[in-house]
Chain A
Amino acid sequence: GAVVSQHPSWVICKSGTSVKIECRSLDFQATTMFWYRQFPKQSLMLMATSNEGSKATYEQGVEKDKFLINHASLTLSTLTVTSAHPEDSSFYICSAREVFGTDTQYFGPGTRLTVL
């Protein structure tokens, strides 16, 4: 149980294009999902909190117009990197928060974004 998937697992795009990453909770409902960014050999940096049916809450320093988050259902959140640039290249990881029980976050396998 408690499986989270991400799609795609890796993507290469040209500078200036937009890329959408999907995060799905497969066997549980998640009213809250989180999006993280991880640079090589570093820890996870929380980008935003995604709440189903409402606007995402962004961490300080994260451009909400560049990183669009939509959480349209209890099992799906999407992160769109708009007008991507090489500096946006990174490993993006989502997590879904288990509503019942102990508020545990379950993580997706991550998406490797490379912007050329």
Chain B
Amino acid sequence: AQSVTQLGSHVSVSEGALVLLRCNYSSSVPPYLFWYVQYPNQGLQLLLKYTTGATLVKGINGFEAEFKKSETSFHLTKPSAHMSDAAEYFCAVSHGSGNTGKLIFGQGTTLQVKP
């Protein structure tokens, strides 16, 4: 069975500081991995995804994530936090191509950005 663990339900950084949101997964097959962001009372917006190929994935708004198979991790980073980055972030995993497409979500991490 697949699962996703996001370490830290709440992360607080200062504006301009590095953002690091942690995600570990378990999967018996090569996974597809996703990061989504959710602003209050809104749906989810895709930040980035890893399917195959290059393990360092760049997304929107300056975010990137690196797939590390040996560590079963897919941590999300951004070099310099902006106030507008304050939101809820979800890591998710799916089986990959040809499957049902079901996503398994982590518990979410609330990112707070202090001025």
Contact = CB atoms under 8 A, between A and B. Distances in A.
Interface size class of B (residues with CB under 8 A): 20 to 34
- The binding surface of chain B is classed by DSSP as loop
A106 B46 contact: yes
Given A34-B103, A107-B45, 7 more contacts: A43-B106, A49-B100, A91-B41, A103-B94, A103-B97, A104-B49, A106-B46
Contacts, number: 59
Contacts of A6: 43
A102 B41 contact: no
Nearest to A2: B46
Contacts of A43: 90, 105-108
Contacts of B43: 4, 6, 93, 107-110
Contacts of B105: 43-44
A42 B41 contact: no
Given A6-B43, A104-B46, A107-B43, A46 B102 contact: yes
Interface of A is mostly: strand
Interface string A16-54: 000000000000000010100000001110100100000
B74 interface: no
A103 B101 contact: yes
B102 A103 contact: no
A71 interface: no
Chain A CB count within 10 A is highest, among B34, B51, B100, B103, for B103
